[in-house]
Structures are given as C-alpha cells and as structure tokens.
Structure 1
Amino acid sequence: MEPTRESFNPWSVVNVVFHHLAAQGLHPILGGADPGAPAAELLRALGIEPAAEGDRQVGENVKRQLAEIRAAMFDEAGS
C-alpha cells in the first residue's frame, strides 16, 4: 500500500514557530520578508506537501460534512 500524502498549510508552521519563539522570550517580528516560502520548504523537507487549503484530513472532513448537508437538504426537499 502506498502511504497517503499529507498536506499542511505553511502559514500554520509560521504561526507555531512565532508562538514558540515568543514563549522562549524572543520577540519575532513579522514584516519585510514573506515567511510562507521558507515554511513551505521546511514542510517539503519533512515530506509534507504544502497546501494553502490546509491538511488533507481537514479537507476530507469538510467534504464529508458537505455531503451530509447535501443529503439532508435533498432528502428533506423530496419529502
């Protein structure tokens, strides 16, 4: 079996790193350079595909919930 490919939003990595540095007493400043590109490269180095829509599991949950809503609406409309 081929393992499923994970994806993750690079901005989530930026957020985690920012809060980690702040918790260590450092004062990171956002501005100047875009941290999204280096965060995406870090994800690729870890074998994770960067994707703006977030991780695969969240996307799958959204698709499932939308399918449930469609089913409920169409079943209700047909009654």
Structure 2
Amino acid sequence: MDAAPETYNPWTVVNVVFHHLAAQGLHPVLGGADPGAPAAELLRALGIEPAAEGDRQVGERVKKHLADIRAAVFEGPDSM
C-alpha cells in the first residue's frame, strides 16, 4: 500500500521562517509580495505537496480525535 503524499500548508513555512528571523534579531516585514508562492515552491523542492488544508498528519490526528469523541458520546455503554 502506498503512503499518502506528504502535504503541508505553505503559510506554516512562512510563519516558521518569520519567527526564526525575528528570534535572530532581524525585523522581517510582510507586505508587498505574497510569500505563500515561494514557500510553496520550497515545499515542492523538498518533495512535499503544498495543500491549503495543511499538514496531512495533523488532519489525520484531528479526524481520529473527533472519531474518539463521537465514540465516547454516542457509542458509550450507557447509550443503549
């Protein structure tokens, strides 16, 4: 079985880089140009498919967590 392709939200990359530069004492400024496109190209160069919905693994964890909550609420021993 092939694993699902890795996906990541390009804006997460922008956020990480922005905070990294700020931590180094630099003063990055957003504006003028959309950094999302270069961030998406960087992800592609790393073999990761940019996706607006974000990191596939985070999405899978959220789905599992919601399924656990549904099971606890609607399928618990007292629900019968």
Segments of 4+ in structure 1 off by > 4 A? none
- Report the RMSD for the aligned CA atoms in angstroms: 1.8
- How many residues align structurally? 79
Q: Name stretches of at least 5 consecutive residues in structure 2 with no aligned partner.
A: none
Tell me by how many angstroms 1:20 deviates. Answer: 2.0
In structure 2, distance between residues paired with 1:39 and 1:3: 24
* Residue 11 of structure 1: aligned partner: 11
**TM-score (norm: length of structure 2):** 0.82
Q: Percent identity?
A: 77
In structure 2, distance between residues paired with 1:22 and 1:43: 21
Secondary structure of 1:28's counterpart equals coil
In structure 1, distance between residues paired with 2:75 and 2:24: 54
Tell me by how many angstroms 1:3 deviates. Answer: 4.3
